[in-house]
Amino acid sequence: MAVTIRRDERPGLAGLFVDMADNCERLGAPTYADLAAWVAEWVEAGDGRFSFLTPYADSRIGDMVPLRFFAAIHRLVLQRDAPGLAVFYASVGGTPPTSHRARAACRDAFVEVVAEHAEEIAAGLQGFPQTNEVGRTAALADVLARVDAQWGLPVRLAEIGCSAGLALRVDALVVEGVVPVRGDAVVPLIVERIGCDIHPVDPTTQEGRLLLTSFVWPDHVERFERLRAALDIASRVPAEVVAQDAVSFVQGLRLVDGQALVLWHSAMWMYLPPGDRSAIETAIERLGSTATERSPLVHVALEPTSELPGEQHVFHLRVTAWPELDDVPAGMTVTLARTPPAGMPVDWSVPCVGAIVHDGAGRLLVIRRGREPALGLWSLPGGRVHAGEAFRDAVVREVAEETGLHVVPERMVGSVERTAPDGSTYDIRDFIARLVDDGVLVAGDDAVDARWVGDAELRALPTSPGLLEALEEWGVLPTAP
């Protein structure tokens, strides 16, 4: 999972708060966006009321100093120790400031709280950030339903970096309507719930509930409602959360006959050092190599895959399973959806297939697209998977519709993502397929032309973006010259 770790940058105190202001503005938290921007100015001006921030001047973006700072103040609001600021915090029934006068009054109240409670805020800064956004389990629930449909086994759910383990109660969250599922998806029986965190939080205590709530941004009222419901569920549905690092936790996992092990994590991967990420991936692959139909392993991650501007707040739902799941070979990762950081709404990818077909001379079957995307360009025969249709069946149908030929899918060799004209994402899974007859090649359906091509002719054609690179990576370019 390649990630550009922008979080290692050290922009200085003012820069840290500017970064948070930008993030809050982008993610619909205008109250924090305004306050963070003003804190950046106050810090830059050397305002002595913020001197307790000085020890953090060389902090990384990933240390989340502004989030810790605002959470410490939010705790005071939640405890009714900052009534002047509370009138602007929606989390306690206040009205977020929208006018120039209201924003000025909010800033004044904020500075008064900082001056009056400097020691408490300084102490709060030393705490580790803890969030437990249960909205992300909407994606997890769908994957668990797929696991149930594939194997019909009870599930052992494990989570790394799980904070208070609220996501481990995903089945109850679905049943009680806290998070939605698609269609008639059914979350399977969960027989074990175990997670790890360096600093686990007990959601059944007042202190733990307050800590988790304080890290939610006040403008995000819907997140507060989900969290309150999840905390109520946590008081009734037990889960085990151990104080342990992610590497040793994953290395200690074992498969059990008659049960599916699902390893899940969200919004934590970017905080791990590269060495830890590599060690976890190695441990997962080693465990996966021993998986069977009676003891499968599924790795589910909802994480950002890039921290470039505009992309760092897009989370990708990626799934890797051992053995095969949904026609995806064991150990191959596919991206099923994208979400905002809070996990909802889930933007599910449009499932598609492509067929890699060679004839006896080593030529590759290609079609010229008659519709977007890639209108007029040459590509592999393929298209959307119909509702309820298996991927392999879609390969057979699409090849027949677009070329008039009949094939048998043999194995999936890779997947690519492409953006559709309407902004949605196509999840295209490409299969090697074997020609089973000498039918007449005739372009049809979405294809305006179809032909067999050797390597030189393929490279000379105007092809869809990334086609040649993918075929080369998978080792399936035409062998004919």
Could you give the residue ranges of the DSSP H alpha helices within 87-152? 100-116, 118-125, 137-151
Lowest mean pLDDT among 167-181, 194-208, 283-297, 411-425: 411-425
Lowest mean pLDDT among 108-117, 255-264, 312-321: 312-321
Comparison of pLDDT for 35 and 326, the residue scoring more: 35
Q: What is the CA radius of gyration of the chain?
A: 26
Residues 220-246 have a mean pLDDT of 96
- Is CATH 3.90.79.10 the classification given to domain 350-474? yes
pLDDT of 307 above 70 = no
What confidence score (pLDDT) does residue 310 get?
Answer: 59
pLDDT of 247 above 60 = yes
Q: Give pLDDT tens digits for 360-385.
A: 999 999 999 888 777 889 999 999 99
What confidence score (pLDDT) does residue 61 get?
Answer: 85
What confidence score (pLDDT) does residue 311 get?
Answer: 64
Query: Do 93 and 110 form a contact (C-beta atoms < 8 A)?
Result: no
Q: Give pLDDT tens digits for 84-132.
A: 999 999 999 999 999 999 999 999 999 999 999 999 999 999 987 888 8
SS3 of residue 272 by DSSP: coil
Q: pLDDT band for 305, please (50, 70, 90 cuts).
A: confident
Bridge partners of 155, per DSSP, are: 190, 260
The one-letter amino acid at 301: A
- Domain coordinates in residue numbering, the chain: 6-125, 134-347, 350-474
Taking CA atoms, 381 is separated from 11, 362, 396, 480, in Å, by 49, 17, 10, 19
Burial of residue 93 (number of CB atoms within 10 Å: 0-12, 13-18, 19+): exposed
pTM: predicted TM-score of the whole model, two decimal places = 0.89
What confidence score (pLDDT) does residue 306 get?
Answer: 64
Structure-token pair, residue 279? 């060690």
Cα–Cα distance for residue pair 355/79, rounded to 1 Å? 60
Q: Give pLDDT tens digits for 285-304.
A: 999 999 999 999 999 999 98
As a whole number, the mean pLDDT across the chain is: 92
Q: Give pLDDT tens digits for 35-62.
A: 999 999 999 999 888 999 999 999 988 8
Q: Are strands 315-322 and 333-339 parallel, antiparallel or unpaired?
A: antiparallel
Fold match, 134-347 / 350-474? no
Q: What is the DSSP string of 315-365?
A: EEEEEEEES-BTTBPTT-EEEEEEE-TT--S-EEPEEEEEEEEB-TTS-EE
Comparison of pLDDT for 368 and 438, the residue scoring more: 368
| Number of helices (H), then strands (E), in the chain | 15, 15
Cα–Cα distance for residue pair 322/284, rounded to 1 Å? 10
Residues 440-459 have a mean pLDDT of 90
pLDDT of 5 above 70 = no
8-state DSSP, 374: S
Topology of 134-347 in CATH?
Rossmann fold (3.40.50)
pLDDT of 271 above 60 = yes
Q: Is the sign of the CA dihedral 357, 360, 363, 365 positive or negative? A: negative
Cα–Cα distance for residue pair 60/8, rounded to 1 Å? 5
